[in-house]
Amino acid sequence: MTQRELFLGALFPTALLLGQQNAAPLKTYNYSADHLSISIPADWVAIQRSELDQMSANVRRAAPNASPQPYNYGFQASPDARYPRVLIQVKTSGRWREKVFAQLPKASTGDLQRQVQSATPAFATLNLKVGKLTYDPSTRVAWLRTQFTGDDGETQGFSGLHPTNIGSIQVHCYALTPEFEQYAPLFSEIITSVKIDDVWKYRERSRFVVALGDFSDLASSAVTGAVGGLATVVVLWVFRKRRRAAKAAGPVV
């Protein structure tokens, strides 16, 4: 059993068995402008640029104080169904400090959820559950699980954050809860398929490279990106709740 399978088995006890039923050939996409490649099921379809840009705009609207969330690439299993899907973020705001990853094993899920909701208060009104942010040094990937209940029902996310020398490549995978563990092995394979060009690879600290933030910054970046992938329902829920609250309050006299 590989290191990735051992790590996945710890996260999803039944996922490896279920995943054997869903083996699919993968196609590698090379994005030379962003110095990365990633492998996606060959029969999945690309999400249109207009939809990706709208997700970014929706996150700004729902959480204006959060850092900008670019969605550079995306794929979904069918053009007629939102899930399962994969979103890819290329973040270039600066290199993460080594101490950030050393802090991950010490962080509790409660701390993580509070830090994220503090940074993005709009998400506090949602039925959002954030799992433990775990770093796997063998693959240099920070892993995160999220859960959200929206118009499509309960949806779960599985994210992988690849640090780079100028930021990170974040891959967010989503499926409805009844199908999630079935897709978990595929999601893990997609996340670990990411290859980063030498020019962007995470290296030992250099005094010429800008280093970013602390654990709370990384947590906010990862979770805001993951939840922003559900931005279509996030914005609907946030503003629907605001309208209901305003209606319940009645007219100002």
Per-residue pLDDT of the chain (253 residues; tens, 9 = 90+): 444 444 455 454 444 444 444 556 999 999 999 999 999 999 999 999 999 998 888 877 777 777 778 899 999 999 988 899 999 999 988 888 777 777 776 666 666 666 666 656 666 555 677 777 788 888 889 898 888 876 667 889 999 999 998 889 999 999 999 999 999 999 999 999 999 999 999 876 654 444 445 444 555 555 566 665 554 444 444 545 555 555 565 554 3
Give one DSSP letter per residue of 201-239, joined into a string.
B--S--TTS-EE--HHHHHHHHHHHHHHTTHHHHHHHHH
In a domain, 225, yes or no: yes
In a domain, 84, yes or no: yes
In a domain, 246, yes or no: no
Q: Please state, as a whole number, how many other Cβ atoms lie within 10 Å of the Cβ of residue 209.
A: 12
In a domain, 51, yes or no: yes
In a domain, 147, yes or no: yes
- Print the domain residue range for 146: 3-241
In a domain, 252, yes or no: no
Domain count, the chain: 1
Residues 6 or more apart whose Cβ sits within 8 Å of residue 44: 75, 76, 77, 86
In a domain, 132, yes or no: yes
Structure tokens at 41: 């099921």
Closest CA to 167 of 218, 99, 233, 120: 218
In a domain, 248, yes or no: no
The CATH number covering residue 233 comes to 3.40.1000.10
For the whole model, what pTM was predicted? 0.77
| Residue spans of alpha helices (H) in 81-230 | 98-103, 109-119, 177-192, 215-228
